[in-house]
Amino acid sequence: MKIDGKHTRSIWLEPDGWSVGVIDQTLLPHRLALLRLAALEDAARAIRTMQVRGAPLIGAAAAYGLCLALRADASDQGLERAYATLLATRPTAINLKWALDEMMAAVRQQPRAQRIAVGYRRAGEICDQDVAINQAIGRYGLNLIEDIARKKKHGQPVNVLTHCNAGWLATVDWGTATAPLYLAHDKGITVHVFVDETRPRNQGALTAWELGQHGVPHTFVADNAGGHLMQHGLVDIAIVGTDRVTAHGDVCNKIGTYLKALAAKDNSVPFYVALPSPTIDFTVADGLAEIPIEQRGPEEITTVTGRAADGRMATVRVVPDGSSVANYAFDVTPARLVTGLITERGIIAATRTALEGTFPERAAAAR
Ligand code: MRU
């Protein structure tokens, strides 16, 4: 997608052909700073600290992280160590494990001398595959937007609510939840997006920045505004991303997604989840019981970071000293609250039958 009109992906190989470039997302939307990852630990740190974030991008960064590790040590032990280090960076998004498993399957059987080249090739394919998946999700999701637009009076916008950032910054390009929005906007459909702030990390600010760069009209709202907006008929459709979808269609996504789904159900607002197939975890049957929910540091809740009046980044405390804090990063929305899953193979029901029927090879591999 575009930064200042220039096409950019969220992750790329640097001109040296081996180190990896990413955008430091902890500084956006206030400052655009690029990072160069040159070693396993750089990649692991970038994922852990959320300089790179979003399920598909975490997977892509881990894939390249394994390549960087191979450059230093291409032995079996080095490979296993790198796999374990990267897998431990964040627990919830299954794309991380998916990408690492894909990489291991590609390089493990290779002689040591071949592993680096094969690894980089596979990591590049994982990135390109993500882009293709998101474009396909975009095309299917566009049909939903067009259906709503047809029922609107001329010039009235299709109002979409989204949570967190499931945009191009969270993927390699296009985004999952945002791909239909970009396609609709480019087609001349008037789309307007309500962007949830998404405390504590404010990923909504990333979504707002992306949409702004592409010229998509949007309104930034506090996390708790969604229910009110839906009650007043201001939301035509909710589209969110996901970090892991179970075999039965339960959706794990950024904390607060469940509450949006409940409000959507109560107000008969269609609630869709944009789901790239690497985010399906057919080994999990019960999302609530089995998906590990990341708990992050209390400082993410007790403080807010942003741009001060003098232009400098500043962090201020917003919680009284001494209060105990819990920082749950994700929640699980039961399949019964999900209107449909927008996948790269079409829009399907959030059910085991539909998921297995649409992705039989993934279901079989998990057995
Ligand atoms: O903690 P984050 O910012 O990595 O969480 C991101 C989300 O929850 C996204 O909605 C999800 O990864 C889907 S991104 C296409």
Chain segment 129-138, per-residue pLDDT in tens: 999 999 999 9
Contact 56, 171 (CB under 8 A): yes
In this predicted structure, the answer to whether residue 94 has a pLDDT above a threshold of 90 is yes
Per-residue pLDDT band for 106 (boundaries 50, 70, 90) equals very high
Residue 219 pLDDT: 98
Per-residue pLDDT band for 216 (boundaries 50, 70, 90) equals very high
Residue 155 pLDDT: 84
> Does the beta carbon of 244 lie inside 6 Å of ligand 1?
no
Residue 331 pLDDT: 98
Residue 41 pLDDT: 98
SS (H, E, C) 271-324: EEEECCHHHEECCCCCHHHHCCCCECCCHHHHEEEEECCCCCEEEEECCCCCCC
Residue 355 pLDDT: 98
252 closest CA partner among 328, 350, 327, 332: 332
Residue 154 pLDDT: 86
Pocket test for ligand 1, best of 22, 203, 300, 330 (most atoms within 8 A of CB): 203
* Cβ density class 28-66: b for 16+ within 10 Å, e for less: bbbeeeebebeebebbbbbbeebbbbbbbbbbbbbbbbb
Chain segment 163-201, per-residue pLDDT in tens: 999 999 999 999 999 999 999 999 999 999 999 999 999
3-state class percentages of the chain: helix first, strand second, coil last, to nearest 5: 45, 20, 35
The rounded Å distance from CA 198 to ligand 1 centre is 11
The rounded Å distance from CA 150 to ligand 1 centre is 31
Chain segment 250-291, per-residue pLDDT in tens: 999 999 999 999 999 999 999 999 999 999 999 999 999 999
> Does the beta carbon of 253 lie inside 6 Å of ligand 1?
yes
Catalytic residue among 243, 250, 281, 331: 243
Q: Which atom of ligand 1 is nearest to the CA of 329?
A: 1
In this predicted structure, the answer to whether residue 5 has a pLDDT above a threshold of 90 is no
Residue 71 pLDDT: 98
305 closest CA partner among 200, 230, 213: 200
172 closest CA partner among 71, 49, 21, 42: 21
What is the average pLDDT score of the chain?
A: 97
> Does the beta carbon of 171 lie inside 6 Å of ligand 1?
yes
The rounded Å distance from CA 264 to ligand 1 centre is 20
Residue 34 pLDDT: 97
Q: Active site includes 16?
A: no
Residue 330 pLDDT: 98
The rounded Å distance from CA 136 to ligand 1 centre is 19
100 closest CA partner among 76, 114, 77, 84: 84
> Does the beta carbon of 254 lie inside 6 Å of ligand 1?
yes
Pocket test for ligand 1, best of 24, 47, 48, 53 (most atoms within 8 A of CB): 53
